[in-house]
Amino acid sequence: MMTVSGEKRKVAVIGGGITGLAAAFYLQKEAKEKGYPLEVILIEASHRLGGKIQTVRRDGFVIERGPDSFLERKKSFGQFAKDLGISDQLVANATGQAYILVNDGLHPIPGGSVMGIPTQISPFITSGLFSWSGKLRAAGDFVLPKASVKGDQSVGQFLRRRFGGEVVENLIEPLLAGVYSGDIDKMSLQATFPQFYKLEQEHRSLIIGSKKIAPKQPVKKSKEGIFRTFKNGLETIVEAIEAQLEPDSVIKGVRVDRFEKVGEQVNLFLNNDAEMLFDRVIFATPHLAALPVFEEHGLMTDFQDMPATSVATVAMAFKEDAVSQENEGTGFLVSRNSDYSITACTWTHRKWPTTTPEGHVLLRGFVGRPGDESTVELSDSELEKIVLSDLKQTMKIKEDPLFTVVTRWKKASPQYMVGHKERVAKAKKELEEHFPMIKLAGSSYEGLGLPDCVDQGKAAGNEIIEELFLTK
């Protein structure tokens, strides 16, 4: 058993995804800068770091298996890149029209839409996405009163009450479900889009409220979009972190099986029969990985029913003359009402020009919906066939792809169900009572996006620094 030697304190970070990496990096950085006697050990069950961040670099193509970018306005990820000295490698997405596939036709997302909520009436009225009755029902948002619902509710319930079913299903649902890979009729409003509820309370109408807070459109439209990534792929940041973590501070291929309290410390039992004693522990794993470890202590029981959805992506590389596209733009989302297996497609060579060598096309199709995830289990060749067949409905593809990259993410997208914030608060309170030396952080709890995960990892690290070195 390892013990704390002298005054040096030890912290374990469990999970080497972006949350755990941020926690370990900032803990080490703070300790070095302030002279704190702190040792940080990162423990990752797999043989690589980065979690869902995985980049394939092949034949001049840069292909993401997981997330492809982060929102620039959420500053923490960009700051992370700066702290690592790699912000000069960041690139912005190219702007362009995005579409919704409904009834075998690609329809432009109406201009002025904020997460599907119209702030400009004219593009909405002229859109072919909705029938006239659907448009009239959506206009009810101008006169409907505020909700009397107190507490949490589903995103779908809230939006259908404001806009009716057609606008939600053909526009808003594809946009929102794409962010969370989830079912909006089960998704917590408070945990995912609390701003919608706030807008209704303050302005009554979501359209009026969204219009008031929408940023003023510049006279000259920027060619730079709101997303950022690294020129050589998102895995750039994982490589930079790993290079800068202290030597011998990362343990790969080892899993934490259980833990026990030893005085004011935590003893971790690893699956290689080793034991390690720590002053503080951050669990930065998905909830499904954490549950078996917490189960014997009767903790996190409310998370046992929290699902995680499965998705697959199929990236296809083509010669430029093999694909004819009539529509300008960066890609499309697919309405749930449409008879397609894919849920979205990014025209990656247009959205991220640096990913694709000149004279080529890169398409990335997404498969898997909540409640209909069986497609994800199909073989690579079957998935390729299905995605290619769907894509041929929207553009002319004359040749087979040069190569494909198929990725499956099984139970990888945690679902923030109604009551999620309360479940998280309860779990953290129970931990504080029984194991105050253990912190929870990561995509299962307080935000799925890369900046949200960085924020959680950094915050957990800051709490630990405060407890170990700044509290008398």
Residues carrying CATH 1.10.3110.10, the chain: 110-213
Model confidence, pTM: 0.94
Give the tens place of pLDDT for each residue, 40-67: 999 999 999 999 999 999 999 999 999 9
User: Which pLDDT does position 320 carry in this prediction?
Assistant: 96
User: Which pLDDT does position 216 carry in this prediction?
Assistant: 65
CB 59 within 8 Å of CB 291: no
The DSSP string of 56-74 is EEETTEEEESS---EETTS
Total Cβ atoms within 10 A of residue 33: 8
Q: How, if at all, do strands 90-94 and 224-230 pair?
A: antiparallel
Chain center to CA of 2: 36
Residues carrying CATH 3.90.660.20, the chain: 55-73+88-95+307-414
User: Which pLDDT does position 218 carry in this prediction?
Assistant: 54
Q: Would you state the torsion angle of the CA atoms of residues 325, 327, 331, 337, taken in this order, to the nearest 10 degrees?
A: -110
Nearest one of 87, 62, 74, 77 to 21, comparing CA atoms: 77
Chain center to CA of 315: 19
* Average pLDDT score over the chain: 93
Residues carrying CATH 3.50.50.60, the chain: 9-47+239-306+416-470
Mean pLDDT of the region 464-471: 93
Consecutive H or E run containing 197: helix 194-203
Give the tens place of pLDDT for each residue, 213-270: 876 655 455 678 999 999 999 999 999 999 999 999 999 999 999 999 999 999 999 9
Long-range Cβ pairs for the range 136-142 (8 Å, 24+): 137/163, 137/164, 137/166, 137/167, 138/163, 138/164, 138/166, 138/167, 140/164, 141/205, 141/206, 141/207, 142/205, 142/207, 142/208
User: Which pLDDT does position 446 carry in this prediction?
Assistant: 97
Q: For the domain bounded by 9-47+239-306+416-470, which CATH number is listed? A: 3.50.50.60
Q: Which one is the CATH code of 55-73+88-95+307-414: 3.90.660.20, 3.30.450.20, 3.30.70.1290, 3.60.9.10? A: 3.90.660.20
CB 118 within 8 Å of CB 162: no
Instruction: Determine which of 56-60, 284-288, 409-413 has the lowest per-residue pLDDT on average.
Output: 409-413
Mean pLDDT of the region 409-416: 94
User: Which pLDDT does position 215 carry in this prediction?
Assistant: 67
User: Which pLDDT does position 6 carry in this prediction?
Assistant: 41
- Name which residue leads in pLDDT, 103 or 151: 151
Alpha-carbon span 23 to 383, nearest angstrom: 37
Mean pLDDT of the region 295-303: 95
What's the CATH superfamily of 110-213? protoporphyrinogen ix oxidase, domain 3 (1.10.3110.10)
Q: Using pLDDT thresholds of 50, 70 and 90, give the confidence band for residue 276.
A: very high
* pLDDT above 90 as % of the chain: 85
Q: Using pLDDT thresholds of 50, 70 and 90, give the confidence band for residue 404.
A: very high
Give the tens place of pLDDT for each residue, 422-451: 999 999 999 999 999 999 999 999 999 999
User: Which pLDDT does position 3 carry in this prediction?
Assistant: 38
Does residue 5 surpass a pLDDT of 80?
Answer: no
Give the tens place of pLDDT for each residue, 20-33: 999 999 999 999 99
Mean pLDDT of the region 364-392: 92
User: Which pLDDT does position 180 carry in this prediction?
Assistant: 85
